[in-house]
Amino acid sequence: MITFDKSLSSGDDSMRNLPLFETPKEIADQFNPDADVVLYQGDVNELIATIPDDSVALVVTSPPYNLGKDYEDRVSIEKYLEAQTQVIAQLYRILRDDGSICWQVGNFVQDGEVYPLDILYYSIFKKLNLFLRNRIVWHFGHGLHASKRFSGRYETILWFTKSDKYIFNLDAVRVPSKYPGKRHYKGPNVGKPSGNPLGKNPSDVWEVLLRDWEEALWDIPNVKSNHPEKTIHPCQYPVELVERCVLALTNEGDWVFDPYAGVGTSLIAAVMHHRRAMGSEKEAQYVDIANQRLAAYFNGTLNVRPMGKPVFVPTGKEKVSQIPEEWKAQPQRTLLQKKRKYK
């Protein structure tokens, strides 16, 4: 059990890196129905076995992709899916009737062949009679450059609900509309604004960013050492991605559970919005970092990328945006370069 010293926080809730809970928090290291945060170090099945039926409002996670990362042993795709089927059946058991599962995945790649994991997972969820509400495309601008296929620039989130009576707080996640001044041009509301004053539905394509990390990768001065969220974890997702799920699909005080918690990103997104947070993670080093990030959050020192911060658009003046001198002498090779005037 870890406790936090809240005396370090300034109490200004307008800052996103400040705690929102009223009292000093403790992190329980095993399931405790009275805890606000539970972070279990060990196998996901061990923690789930201790969680009562119908208790979790949202399961949100990015499971291991079976890619042979540091934290996983690569097995056949069949074995991998079999193990995941067992876990998902237990997640179904602990999910509340009005609850949701958000399963964030990319591709499994073997011998150059791509296996889209969301398609493979779909039937596992359907067999449990879960209902797909959205297949959300998470688009990001940076990644590996493929040479034998197009470079992958999106992953997906499958959002399933357990029933038809699910929580969906659309107003909590509306985004500014492009044309708020639009008005009805006919019908009974003619002349009145046609949009919603709170903004528009964010749609099922999310430009939630690794942007600051991308800037860091581009080596733009002062960002590399300052980018807000990145840790040593090879597959960390941004807090902002989870925040949207938490805000839309749960209410304050609800349990949010990440069975593959990594460095605690989902737990941070949950506590930031007054939800109770629970996670399991088998690697002790990631659990340590998750504990440190949560401590930093409660102490008011965790830096989190602001939700909805606009995408960075290069001005063309950055060194990395400019065509290298040595290429200018070469014959123009791409359509883009043909269109673009060398200066």
Residues forming contacts to ligand SAM in the complex (CB under 6 A) are 43-44, 62, 64, 71-72, 233, 235-237, 260, 262-263, 265, 280-283, 286
Cα gap 21→298, rounded to integer Å? 8
Decide whether 233 or 276 has the Cβ nearer to ligand SAM. Answer: 233
Residues 6+ apart with CB under 8 A from 153: 139, 140, 141, 143
Residues 137 and 130: their CA atoms lie apart, in Å, by 20
- Phi, psi for 90 (deg, rounded to 5): -75, -35
Q: How far is the CB of 301 from ligand SAM (least distance, A)?
A: 19
H or E segment to which residue 105 belongs: strand 95-105
Shortest Å distance, C-beta 169 to ligand SAM: 22
CB 128 to ligand SAM: min, Å: 19
Query: Measured from the CB of residue 266, what is the shortest distance to ligand SAM in angstroms?
Result: 6
Among residues 275, 248, 278, which one has the least CA distance to residue 261? 278
Nearer to ligand SAM by C-beta: 177 or 292? 292
Distance of CA 43 to the CA centre of its chain: 21
> What is the chain's alpha carbon radius of gyration, rounded to the nearest angstrom?
22
Decide whether 65 or 125 has the Cβ nearer to ligand SAM.
65
The least CB distance from residue 102 to ligand SAM, in Å, is 11
User: Considering the complex, what minimum distance in angstroms separates the CB of residue 263 from ligand SAM?
Assistant: 4
Backbone angles phi, psi at 93, to 5 degrees: -60, -40
Q: How far is the CB of 194 from ligand SAM (least distance, A)?
A: 38
Taking the least distance from each CB to ligand SAM, the nearer of 63 and 99 is 63
- Return d(Cα 261, Cα 258) in angstroms, integer: 5
Estimate to the nearest angstrom the gap between the alpha carbon of 240 and the chain centroid: 6
CA distance 69 to 324: 34
Nearer to ligand SAM, 236 or 250 (CB): 236
- Please give the residue whose beta carbon sits closest to ligand SAM in the complex: 262
Neighbours of 167 (CB within 10 A): 16
Nearer to ligand SAM, 46 or 171 (CB): 46
Task: Select 130 or 289, whichever has its Cβ closest to ligand SAM.
Answer: 289
